[in-house]
Structure formats: structure tokens, C-alpha cells
């Protein structure tokens, strides 16, 4: 029996006249996710139908669709004709494995084609009766059934299925402009990137690299993290910025307790330049209030002052254990905890200033040729595409 994948979406339905734009983008992203499988994709009645020439690929396709934002549910459905006898027989045949293993069930019917001669309760009765005859061990339980058999009568076919898989939700990536993610090797920034992408934001990443203080393996680790995040965004460019000279200059000229905050301001300014060059209109970081000395409200304020682009901090209100849970869910945690140093950890002051004052920080920055340092860093960027 022919099988297709039905993809349903959530918030897109609320987009009024713009809905077709969101739907088309979702289809484009689905197509990209199913690259190599030659899917035939059609849309109708708030559902996207995907059929694959090689049905062996259906499980793999389902796995890939779990990472496409905008999808709320994914269903492997069997395609049956629109005639009640054939529906009863076909349902019993297609779902025999699931139903043999269950003890209770119920049928739910949805009739989007109102011309179909039977109403939904009648369809449930007919199909339910036929299944009870075919599987005498099964009992109907309308309150808490083990299996719900869904029968959807749509325009051209009937679709039957048992299990719905939860999609990732959110909005299609690309429906909400592009932002530059400041991606470290830590736990927080990949999660922040995932959360921005979930709201439809396309991403590129910036990574600050302090060769030879940080090793090539630290860079590889960040590229691996970018690759995992790019599983949700459909590929991602990573701009690797040489940062050592800036860090050494700050260490040489500025008060020790200000090192981290001045360094953070440089990161923001350089990221903003790279954003402008690449069409990104916001920055995304993995900062969370109070997590470290440079993330007190005062420090975040001073960091924020360095740029005029909006800065999004999707994990700002999350506790570390909540961020860790999310990192495990999206698959970045194991890579994030690999023990390679980050540029932030190599020049950490013993007593960082947790309540920095903007005028004092700016006065210290006067001791540096900020413009030349930023230009040199931007000129030295190496851009790598990961997918």
C-alpha cells in the first residue's frame, strides 16, 4: 500500500495573506532537508504531502523532517481510495502490525471533503466495526485507547495512520531575516543559535580564535558545533576571526580587571562589522544574566553599548541546567563539553570587574588603536561553510 508523509504546520496558519510565502519557504526547506531523495511535494488544506519514489527512505526522511522548523507534526500515512469498503479493508491491512500488538483502540475521522457520503461518526463506526471483526482481541476504548486510528478523507484520497510524530515547531528558517551568531565552543551559544533559528532567523556564525593559545582542535570543535546547529538551518557559514593580537594588546595596555569586558566589546564590534558585510541585521549570543562575571546586568549593559545592531540573547533567562537540557535535546552537549580551551578562558583576570562603568571602560579603550585592531581582525577572517 502506498505510503506518504503528511506534514502539518502550526503558527504559519495564522499568517493571513502572507501564509503562501511561509508555506513556500517551508516547502523549500523541506526539499533541502530531503536532498537526494527526489521527493514529490504538494500542498493542500494546511498540509504538505510528501511522497518518495523510494519508500525505503521514509524513515530516514521522517528523521530529517524532525529538524525542519515550522513543522508541528509528521505522519507516515497510507493512501487509500475514497470508498468506505476499501477504507475498512485497507485500514485493517495497513495497520495490522500496530493493531495486533494493541489491546484497545478507537477510530477518529476527519472529513475535509464534505461531499463524502458518510459523516465522521458514521466513518468511525464503519471502520471501528470492521477492525473489531478483523482483530477480535481488540476492544474499543474511547477514553484512553492504546492506539488511535486516524482516518482523514481529503480531496483526492483517504489517509490512514496511527502515530503522529512531534515536529520541532517554530517558523521556517529564513522567514525572519539573518543574524550573526557569536559561537564559542561552550554550551550556551549553540543553544542560543538553535532558539533564534527556531523563530525563523537565518544564521551565520562568528568565532573568535586565539591561535596559538587555542588549538586547532578547539576550532574543529566549534566547526562541529556549527555543523550540528546547521542541521536545523540548512548549512551555515562560519567566519573565524583571528583574535590573539587584540587580546595581547588589551592585556598590555588596559587594567587587568577590565580585560574580559573590553574583549567582549571587541567581539561585539567585529561581529557587527561582519554582520554588515554579510547582510545580517542582528547579533545572537549565548549570554544569561548572572552566569559569569561578564554577564552581570552592568556588564551586559557595557557590552551592549559597543554596537548599534539589536543583540538577541535567547537564553538570557534560563538556568544553566535548563540550557544543558536543551543542548542535550538538540545534540550539541556532548561536543560542547569536550575539554578544549576557548579564547575567553585564556586571559581571564583573577578579579574581574563585575560592575564595570562605561566611561572607565571607554577611557581604557582610548589606550588602544581600536579601529586598526578591528580592521586587521576583519581582514584576517577565514570563512568556512559547514553543513
Strands (E), 12-103: 40-44, 47-51, 71-80
- Closest-CA residue to 301 (of 354, 363, 254, 369): 354
Report the residue closest to Mg ion, judged by CB: 186
Report the residue closest to ligand ATP, judged by CB: 186
Does residue 342 touch ligand ATP according to CB under 6 A?
yes
Instruction: Tell me which of 139, 292, 324, 384 binds ligand ATP, using CB under 6 A.
Output: 292
* Piece of the chain touching ligand ATP by CB under 6 A; list 22-30, 32-40, 83-91, 283-291: 283-291
Look-up: residue for cell 574580559?
Answer: 260
Nearer to Mg ion by Cβ, of 288 and 353: the residue is 288
Distance CA 281, CA 60 (A): 35
CA dihedral 228, 234, 240, 241 (to 10 degrees): -120
- The entry of ligand ATP, Mg ion, none near residue 258 (CB within 5 to 8 angstroms by kind) is none
Instruction: Tell me which of 189, 258, 296, 335 binds ligand ATP, using CB under 6 A.
Output: 189
The CB-of-243 to ligand ATP minimum distance in angstroms stands at 7
- Cell output for 57: 527512505
Instruction: Tell me which of 47, 230, 258, 294 binds ligand ATP, using CB under 6 A.
Output: 294
- Cell output for 366: 582610548
Give 171's DSSP letter: B
The CB-of-297 to Mg ion minimum distance in angstroms stands at 19
The CB-of-345 to Mg ion minimum distance in angstroms stands at 7
Does residue 356 touch ligand ATP according to CB under 6 A?
no
CA dihedral 310, 315, 318, 320 (to 10 degrees): -130
8 A C-beta contact, residue 210 and residue 247: yes
The CB-of-300 to ligand ATP minimum distance in angstroms stands at 10
- The entry of ligand ATP, Mg ion, none near residue 294 (CB within 5 to 8 angstroms by kind) is ligand ATP
Does residue 145 touch Mg ion according to CB under 5 A?
no
Does residue 364 touch Mg ion according to CB under 5 A?
no
8 A C-beta contact, residue 256 and residue 349: yes
**Distances in Å between the alpha carbon of 92 and those of 111, 130, 287?**
19, 8, 53
Distance CA 263, CA 343 (A): 10
φ, ψ of residue 40 in degrees (nearest 5): -100, 120
The CB-of-238 to ligand ATP minimum distance in angstroms stands at 10
Instruction: Tell me which of 116, 159, 208, 333 binds ligand ATP, using CB under 6 A.
Output: 208
Instruction: Tell me which of 128, 167, 168, 186 binds ligand ATP, using CB under 6 A.
Output: 186
Sketch the per residue contact string, 239 through 268, with ligand ATP: x for CB under 6 A, - otherwise: ----------------------------x-
Does residue 287 touch ligand ATP according to CB under 6 A?
yes
Number of residues that bind ligand ATP (CB under 6 A): 21
**Distances in Å between the alpha carbon of 330 and those of 173, 194, 287?**
16, 8, 18
Does residue 294 touch Mg ion according to CB under 5 A?
no
CB crowding 14-32: b at 16 or more within 10 Å, else e? eeeeeeeebbebbbebbbe
Does residue 193 touch Mg ion according to CB under 5 A?
no
CB crowding 215-240: b at 16 or more within 10 Å, else e? eeebbebbbbbbbbbbbbbbebbbbb
- The entry of ligand ATP, Mg ion, none near residue 175 (CB within 5 to 8 angstroms by kind) is none
The CB-of-181 to ligand ATP minimum distance in angstroms stands at 7
Instruction: Tell me which of 285, 304, 353, 364 binds ligand ATP, using CB under 6 A.
Output: 285
Give 170's DSSP letter: S
- The entry of ligand ATP, Mg ion, none near residue 182 (CB within 5 to 8 angstroms by kind) is ligand ATP
Does residue 152 touch ligand ATP according to CB under 6 A?
no
Question: Using alpha carbons only, what angle is made at residue 180 by residues 352 and 61, rounded to the nearest 5 degrees?
Answer: 120
Residues that bind Mg ion (CB under 5 A): 184, 186, 342
Interacting residues with ligand ATP (CB under 6 A): 182-184, 186-189, 206-208, 267, 285-287, 291-292, 294-295, 342-344
Amino acid at each position: 500500500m502506498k505510503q506518504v508523509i503528511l506534514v502539518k504546520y502550526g503558527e504559519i496558519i495564522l499568517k493571513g495573506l502572507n501564509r503562501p510565502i511561509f508555506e513556500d519557504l517551508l516547502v523549500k526547506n523541506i526539499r533541502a532537508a530531503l536532498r537526494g531523495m527526489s521527493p514529490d511535494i504538494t500542498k493542500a488544506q494546511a498540509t504538505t504531502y510528501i511522497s518518495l519514489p523510494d519508500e525505503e527512505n521514509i524513515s530516514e526522511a521522517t528523521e530529517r523532517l524532525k529538524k525542519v522548523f515550522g513543522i508541528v507534526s509528521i505522519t507516515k500515512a497510507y493512501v487509500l481510495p475514497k470508498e468506505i469498503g476499501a477504507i475498512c479493508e485497507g485500514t485493517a491491512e495497513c495497520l495490522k502490525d500496530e493493531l495486533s500488538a494493541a489491546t484497545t483502540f478507537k477510530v477518529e475521522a476527519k472529513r475535509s471533503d464534505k461531499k463524502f457520503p458518510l459523516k465522521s461518526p458514521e466513518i468511525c463506526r464503519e471502520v471501528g466495526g470492521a477492525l473489531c471483526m478483523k482483530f477480535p482481541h481488540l476492544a474499543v476504548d474511547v477514553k484512553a485507547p492504546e492506539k488511535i486510528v486516524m482516518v482523514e478523507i481529503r480531496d483526492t484520497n483517504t489517509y490512514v495512520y496511527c502515530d503522529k510524530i512531534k515536529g520541532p515547531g517554530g517558523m521556517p528558517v529564513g522567514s525572519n531575516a539573518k543574524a550573526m551568531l557569536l559561537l564559542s565552543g561552550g554550551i550556551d551559544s549553540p543553544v542560543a543559535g538553535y532558539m533564534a533559528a527556531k523563530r525563523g532567523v537565518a544564521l551565520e556564525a562568528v568565532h573568535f580564535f586565539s591561535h596559538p593559545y587555542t588549538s586547532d582542535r578547539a576550532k574543529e570543535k566549534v566547526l562541529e558545533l556549527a555543523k550540528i546547529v546547521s542541521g536545523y538551518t540548512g548549512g551555515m557559514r562560519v567566519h573565524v576571526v583571528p583574535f590573539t593580537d587584540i587580546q595581547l594588546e588589551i592585556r598590555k595596555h588596559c587594567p587587568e580587571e577590565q580585560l574580559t569586558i573590553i574583549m567582549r566589546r571587541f567581539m561585539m564590534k567585529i561581529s557587527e562589522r561582519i554582520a554588515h558585510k554579510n547582510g545580517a541585521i542582528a547579533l545572537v549570543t549565548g549570554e544569561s544574566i548572572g552566569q559569569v562575571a561578564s554577564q552581570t546586568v552592568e556588564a551586559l549593559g557595557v557590552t551592549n553599548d559597543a554596537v548599534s545592531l539589536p543583540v538577541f540573547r535567547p537564553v538570557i533567562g534560563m538556568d544553566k541546567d535548563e540550557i544543558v537540557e536543551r543542548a542535550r535535546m538538540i545534540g550539541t552537549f556532548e561536543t560542547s563539553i569536550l575539554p578544549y580551551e576557548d579564547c575567553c578562558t585564556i586571559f581571564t583576570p583573577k578579579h574581574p570587574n563585575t560592575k564595570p562603568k562605561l566611561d572607565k571602560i571607554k577611557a581604557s579603550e582610548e589606550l588602544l588603536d581600536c579601529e586598526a585592531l578591528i580592521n586587521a581582525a576583519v581582514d584576517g577572517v577565514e570563512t568556512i561553510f559547514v553543513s
